[in-house]
Chains A and B, each alone.
Chain A
Amino acid sequence: MVTWLYDCNGSVTGGRFSPGGDTMMTALGWATVVQDAAEIPAAPTALRSVARVVLAVLIAVLASYIALEQIGTWRRRRRNRD
């Protein structure tokens, strides 16, 4: 039952839990949240945004490296041929 605390993306979509709460309490907590959507705690969208920025920077760095190597090699080969 607790499995349904996660959406298909693996994110926790709601619940009211505190340290020390037991399994039954978490399951009951989910049942309560379903009935009152306004009580669902906000998902950490800021962290998700940071993760996306990190990913975008990594992709940009990797793409730049590949472009730099490809263009550099192409120019050197052309120069050597000439």
Chain B
Amino acid sequence: MTDVPDNPPSKQARVRRFTAVELAQHWALLVTLTVLAVTGLALFAHGTWLGRTLIALEGGMETRGILHRCFAVLLMLIVVWHFLYVVFTERGHRQLMAMLPTRADFSAVGALIAYYLGRRPEPPPFGRFTPLQKLQYWGAGLGSLVMIGTGFVLWFHTQAMAVMPKWVIDVTAIVHGYEGLILFLLLFGWHLYIVHLSPGNFPMQTTFLTGTISAERLFREHRLEYEELFGPEEPRDDGERDEP
């Protein structure tokens, strides 16, 4: 596989979409958020059988707390790593710019809904990132910042109580718990569905493993980016079936 295949590429040609550093960041975030979600959910639902089971599996309340804090520190490090990457590297900065929401994204969402309702023959053409991918990125990014901020207050609650009124601690605890649940739904529900379970992607899309995407899929799902790379001509059919 080359970074830029022949022009026009065959449908099966793999096009580089994410670099090794970006895949590493994704993996680090995946593992960290999974542990944080499981250890956090145990506390959030401590009164249910699920919470009690999770707490027992995590070695009790104290071990659960230690695990949660260790992985919270990891999350902070990942956020710093990602921030440095998107600010100080050319590639990262371009990725961030491509992630910025535009007005066209809003009309594209409307067009996408019209397509699902059968009122458009084709889905709208998307660039490097679809509006839904942008929503997930900013939701996860800003959500992580909120979790880190509120988590700090709860972690150092004794010191926080010395300088903050009680209601701030109350609000922080509620925001941390529910924001965590929203992040969990966003990433482990919606993101997982869109990437792996939605029509055309089931049972699994391999981009998160290889960092590459087939030219056929790039043409179908990121038409504008495909046209920037290869022009308007469709990928040629070499007779082999495309893999998800």
Stretch at the interface among B12-20, B80-88, B165-173: B165-173
Number of A residues with CB within 8 Å of any CB on chain B = 42
Known: A6-B157, A68-B113. A62 touches B174 (CB 8 A): no
Contacts A2-B157, A5-B157: A44 and B46 contacting too (C-beta < 8 A)? no
In whole angstroms, what is the CA distance A65 to B230 when docked?
A: 32
Instruction: Tell me whether A34 is interfacial, beta carbon within 8 Å.
Output: no
Q: Is the CB of A58 within 8 A of B117?
A: no
One of A41, A44, A55, A71 near B182 (C-beta < 8 A): A55
Chain B hits for A16, CB < 8 A? 166
Other-chain contact of A68, B116, B177, B178 (Cβ < 8 Å): B116
- A interface majority secondary structure: helix
Known pairs A2-B157, A10-B43, A72-B116; A58 contacts B182 (CB<8 A): yes
Complex contacts, A73 vs chain B, CB 8 Å: 116, 199-200
Q: A17-B165, A19-B163 are in contact. Are A47 and B157 (CB under 8 A)?
A: no
Q: Check A8 against B169 for contact (C-beta < 8 Å).
A: no
Contact residue among A8, A41, A51, A72 (Cβ-Cβ distance under 8 Å from B174):
A51
Q: Mark A1-17, 1 if CB is under 8 A from B, else 0.
A: 01101101111100111
Q: From residue B31, how far is it (CB to closest CB) to chain A in Å?
A: 23
Chain A: residues with CB nearer than 8 A to chain B? Answer: 2-3, 5-6, 8-12, 15-23, 26, 41, 43-44, 47-48, 51-52, 54-55, 58-59, 62, 65-66, 68-73, 75-76, 79
Residues of B within 8 A of A (CB): 43-44, 46-47, 61, 113, 115-118, 154, 157-159, 161-167, 169-171, 173-178, 181-182, 185-186, 189-190, 193, 198-200
